[in-house]
Amino acid sequence: MLSGYWHFVPEVLVVGGALVALFGEFMPGRGRGAAYTAAALAGLAALLVTFGGTGGPMVFGQVEPDGIARFARAGVAGLTAVWALWVAGRGMPDERRRDAVALAMFAAAGGMLLCMAEDLIVMYIALELSTMPAYVLMGYRRGDVSGLEGALKYFLLAMLTSIVMLYGLSFLYGISGYTAFADLTLEGSGVLGLVAVLLTLVGLLAKMSAAPFHYWAPDAYAGAMPESVAFVSTVPKVAGIAVMARLLGAIAPEMPELVTVVALASAASMLLGNLAALPQSDLRRLMAYSGVAHTGYLLMALAPGTNAGYTAAVFYAVAYAVPSMAVMLVAAEEGTGLTDLAQLAARRPWLAWSTVVWLLSLIGIPPLVGFFGKLFLFGAAVDGELWVLVILGILTSVVSAGYYFRIVREMFFGEVVASQPASPVAEPRASAVALVLLLLATIAVGVGASPLLAGLGALLG
């Protein structure tokens, strides 16, 4: 059991993995060996978080490794480990592989700290640390104009919304006189308090690509390498939802107007995300709009302002991240166009059927993790009497089946183009192991969803 400042050991391990990747040229195997080592350190960090227990407020109350932090940190570290393992097995040049893994590790360390944040200053610094490396990952191909354009859009919008959020944080501090979440008092602040909260939410919603701040995501994803998208579209979102649940838990009781604000963002994200994904033929753009839609589902659980909703949102953030990362890694291996997946069932049957499982989880089909995640989300919204959001969530989940099953159709019934390999191809063992781990997580976390959520709620209190 971890206690005291030993709770920070997982973050230290992840930072150590980043440093190993940076100086991987001096290791056996160079970039590949550095990626394996970083993946092992991130995996060890996930295990320490999982079995290390929880603790009370630390560092003068600025961080708290409670139940939400424990689950979200384990998810961030575990997903980062799997991603690094996949990268270790694939054919990037060694120096580029090292850079990518180092950036991801630094982002993961920031995300893990963000999950524990109980202070406005810690939240802002950790949020920037978790997203700044993502700007570089999205524009990783320096010779690709479209990739650099998408990364620049991401950077400019993120910087703008970060400044807006910082302005809101200054208002929150000015009103309450404190930066600790527990000491934020907005009672009697009137319009100024609402403006402060709205400005703060702008930055958080933009980081999670929620409507109407989602416009950067499709272009940034479409120009980036699929493996970069696999990380950026999932891991930072888990940390963002965790800290948003913590912040709303502190201020929502004194600000009932937040229910309407978060509910509107949820409805807009579900509608725009699912409808815009329908005509997409590029997997990266399709999954970008899918991510917007799933952010809407997450916000639906946060809107009621209840502990049940917060725990359901954090659980579903991980439940969404696992299959979403897997689908993007498949795109990295096979191609980003839907037609690139044609006859995948004939070339790599196990991968095609695994992809079906991941897509069914994203739709919300039992007994996979996505089904239970959505069930808990809808349950939290029902308890908060947000019936319109529940109905909209169910209807848009049905709509999502339309574009997810387009992928299934291509894998099993699509016409093979001449440039595609007609026979099975060899694949690196490490990348296959990473995908198998994501498949097992999709099934296992679904089977153990109820006790996991019950335990998370009990730890949160």
Pair 108, 42: CB distance under 8 Å: yes
* Exposure string over 66-83, b if 16+ CB within 10 A, otherwise e: bbbbbbbbbbbbbbbbbb
pLDDT value at residue 1: 47
Q: How far is 120 from 455, CA to CA, in rounded Å? A: 27
pLDDT less than 70: residues of the chain: 1-4, 24-31, 91-95, 142-143, 417-427, 447-461
pLDDT value at residue 423: 44
pLDDT value at residue 418: 54
Q: State the burial class of residue 188 (Cβ atoms within 10 Å of its Cβ: 0-12, 13-18, 19+).
A: exposed
What pLDDT digit, counting tens, does each position of 151-170 carry? 888 888 888 989 999 999 99
Element spanning 157, H or E = helix 145-176
Pair 140, 101: CB distance under 8 Å: no
Indicate the residue type of 193.
Answer: G
Q: How far is 165 from 325, CA to CA, in rounded Å? A: 28
User: DSSP letter string over 187-198?
Assistant: TT-HHHHHHHHH
Peptide bond into 367 cis (omega under 30): yes
**Residues near 211 by beta carbon (within 8 Å), at least 6 away in sequence:** 265, 268, 269, 271, 272, 273, 292, 296
Pair 2, 52: CB distance under 8 Å: yes
pLDDT value at residue 217: 86
pLDDT value at residue 424: 46
Task: Tell me, rounded to whole angstroms, the distance of Cα 239 from its chain centroid.
Answer: 7
Q: Where are the domains of the chain?
A: 4-460
Categorise residue 299: left if φ over 0, alpha if ψ from -120 to 50, beta otherwise.
alpha
Q: Return the closest-CA partner of residue 50 out of 28, 67, 74.
A: 74
Beta bridge partners of 234: none
Q: How far is 153 from 139, CA to CA, in rounded Å? A: 10
What pLDDT digit, counting tens, does each position of 59-81 carry? 877 888 888 888 899 999 999 99
pTM for the whole structure: 0.92
